[in-house]
Structure 1
């Protein structure tokens, strides 16, 4: 039997709670390639989707079947044929696609039906709805190549999908569409997921796929994943990437998914994500943690460094309270924080405050105290403290001050590394010296502003 330790569970659950609240009632379109199923990840992935569903998120799941179709073709002695990064679907390939889609839908629906004891889906009832929600058109002939039964999404019946997800069902879309005359077309999972997200104006489009995300250094496969990518930067990256040549198989790399993320964001989807299925629980980490695990493409950066207002009082108090309890910070009167809120600078991400500091000026002495500098333990080591310090310095310079100072008992080395130097408490402005707690014996550190 596993043990749940309150000292780790409670802070974790409190950190997750804002995201649970924020995403309840929102619509997520999730694209799942056939490679996820081939890797044996389906049951765990469906359990995670069911958790999102239980948290009140409306789910549209789009599955792919690339390796399954290729397997069917190989069994019939046929080869997969591609051009311009797309499959050429002849009559045999269409039959194989229909067989693969039928089998995968059966497996996915079975996975959603497993309300097994001692699993995240215990006693869960998740209804799966699928149907002819897609109208397709043929790719046609491109550069002399006839794509035959390969198609593109013409229209998504968003109203019907919306009614289904509003009723509490998970909608499952296969990469098949039909023309108004009833002709079947093989579509790509990525096209279907992107088109559905745009038609529904979904809050998120997530590709849980075989790539880790966009690397901070695209030329280095071992560099860290860039967890948040501005849309403009993503567009520039794609402009520099190589396009698949005629006759080429689909390049299953980050650009393959990034192009669909960009299209979705340009068409009104707020956020699109590339998430690695190789990591257990990656979908939950991406949705319910501050930085996620993959790459999120957004029109504008969600992180904001700004001056505080009255709406931030509760967030600031929640941030600094743990540090007051352990003695890192001096306890501040709550009415004082409310009174001085305009003196605070905060750093937030997606509406949650992760850092703050206040600047108390002593104009006659041409200096100011930086107080209550705090960064959440969830994001320490990521540079938020330096960004807040820089903004505080800018605010002090704008007021014509020549220095800032801090009082600290535990973090003096952090400040010394950033240009502060210790002084005797007698250096303090007279007004601040009268409030100095000689019993606490805080060190006073000063930084000259250039």
Structure 2
């Protein structure tokens, strides 16, 4: 009998110890120093739920990020492929059920998904400003980090990377690409039929018009910071509609037909029917050149007032069971080494959100000398030209109004 009591006492002690460790792990990170967070995160497992549809992204996470995080910080990173909308549905269900210890520690997120998650209290935070790598290597005053498609981030997500809207052109046909939208208009008029843009139901066509909107207003900063309203949008867009009407007769097929998708525009460009295309990824032309869809003479450019940019972020769910580990893992993913390896084209090729000027000389040289391909603008050009997205409601507003203002206004 004594043996049984002793065994039960021993098991109860183990259970209490485990509960104590879990309680320690659940300590509010806001009450701890970074050294305490890093120490308590060591030896834990962090589950990151993220879209898994790209082999290069998956290889970066599985072959570089996870092994390096384990080696340097003794944290096991488990990648769980899942679409972001499904992640948010799961978190919403757990919140409604009162589940305090969730199975998701990090979410890859931005845009409308972040807005919904933040408005429904599905995220833990603010945590971003506690991350040493963010405070040391990132521009903390950047609009790109303060707003996510017009929603204030308020420290509830940390910038992981970004893509930018650029134009591609055939340098054998176009010797000097335009530097402004006014110069683009002159070029289109001088080269009838050699330029067009996708219908704004397509994401890239819509981005082209949002890029134009930025160029025709007094200050893009106002568009980013101003809360969306139809009245404000209509007032700001008057010059944009005039511009599109002015170039319409000189477009491919005289503006009577528009490519339905970016893929269709790329095909026209690859065939030589038009001499420019565009896209929301500054490095996208490289693989299209390799696949001989685009001519090898393809190059990219950005115009004033800048390049529309889309920052993507990492966030922590409200009920993460390992918030300390999540913060330590995110801090690692924001580090110069992790960002550099993410930038390399042999893995992901995703542009960095880091501020190159804040890096030590040796690391700065690594970033600026990395060859992303002849068609990709320099890292400095992209960083200097970056313009954050405005409220996501502009996307639908442009779709609805373009048909009346441009397409049906023959």
More strand by share: 1
In terms of Rg, which structure is larger? 1
**Do the structures match in fold with TM over 0.5?**
no
More helix by share: 2
Superposition TM-score, scaled by structure 1 size: 0.22
Superposition TM-score, scaled by structure 2 size: 0.23
